[in-house]
Amino acid sequence: KAGVTQTPRYLIKTRGQQVTLSCSPISGHRSVSWYQQTPGQGLQFLFEYFSETQRNKGNFPGRFSGRQFSNSRSEMNVSTLELGDSALYLCASSLVQGATEAFFGQGTRLTVV
Amino acid sequence: DAKTTQPNSMESNEEEPVHLPCNHSTISGTDYIHWYRQLPSQGPEYVIHGLTSNVNNRMASLAIAEDRKSSTLILHRATLRDAAVYYCILSSAYNTDKLIFGTGTRLQVFP
């Protein structure tokens, strides 16, 4: 069974640009969560989607958005990139909302220059 | 969200048991205790979770204090592959998809 797949693995963008990251959950999993990991702030929850609806949101500005498709695949978008958005973005999938085990992908390393 | 407190780092020798402590004095009655670990250059990996009773699985054991204000993750025989950052996380039973990670404990395992 394939794990959580995140694409691309690495990305370099310029300040002011926007970026879209993709996450394919484990087959059959319907809940997808996104996290940002930086050396200074650690792992921070961004948002969670279930059945194409955002169910939870972390404390991030509106520049960070996401969506989930009917096949449970999810994308997150960051607009007007800032240097501080450089981070490892991790996606996690769960079988259902409220499941007690989340499976993480290897992440997308975003560098903003 | 209830917070957890863990030591920044711990060391162990291979083949020895490791006890990783976690304090969560503000835990509520509906909070689950989760443990995840993150190996170098990888995403976090689920280890174990519990609510009130001690739990065992193939990876580890979770010992939960009677008042639930602390817990201990037990690795019975550490291997080099167990070197990772271990996170103790609380999540509401109604909101288990929102994991609030702390700073975790960096475990070093020596041969």
pLDDT number for residue B18: 97
pLDDT number for residue B95: 66
Q: Which residue of A has its CA nearest to B51?
A: A100
B29 interface with A at CB cutoff 8 Å:
no
Q: Which residue of A has its CA nearest to B104?
A: A42
A15 CB-contact burial (10 Å; exposed 0-12 / middle 13-18 / buried 19+): exposed
CB B78 within 8 A of CB B15: yes
Å from A44 to nearest chain B CA? Answer: 7
**Hey, are the CB atoms on B98 and A33 less than 8 Å from each other?**
yes
pLDDT number for residue B92: 78
Q: Which residue of A has its CA nearest to B41?
A: A106
A102 interface with B at CB cutoff 8 Å:
yes
Question: Which regions of chain B are under pLDDT 50?
Answer: none
**Hey, are the CB atoms on A107 and B102 less than 8 Å from each other?**
no
pLDDT number for residue B60: 96
Q: How far lies B17's CA from each of A2, B11, B12, in Å?
A: 32, 11, 8
**Is beta strand B105-110 parallel, antiparallel or unpaired with respect to B9-13?**
parallel
User: Rounded CA gap, A32 and A24, in Å?
Assistant: 9
Taking residue A30's Cβ as centre, other Cβ atoms within 10 Å add up to: 18
A55 interface with B at CB cutoff 8 Å:
yes
Q: Which residues contact B54 (CB under 8 A, 6 or more apart)?
A: B61, B62, B63, B64
Question: Which regions of chain A are under pLDDT 50?
Answer: none
B1 interface with A at CB cutoff 8 Å:
no
pLDDT number for residue A95: 85
Which residues in chain B belong to E strands, given as ranges? 9-13, 18-23, 31-38, 45-50, 55-56, 61-64, 70-75, 84-92, 105-110
**Hey, are the CB atoms on A107 and B43 less than 8 Å from each other?**
yes
pLDDT number for residue A2: 79
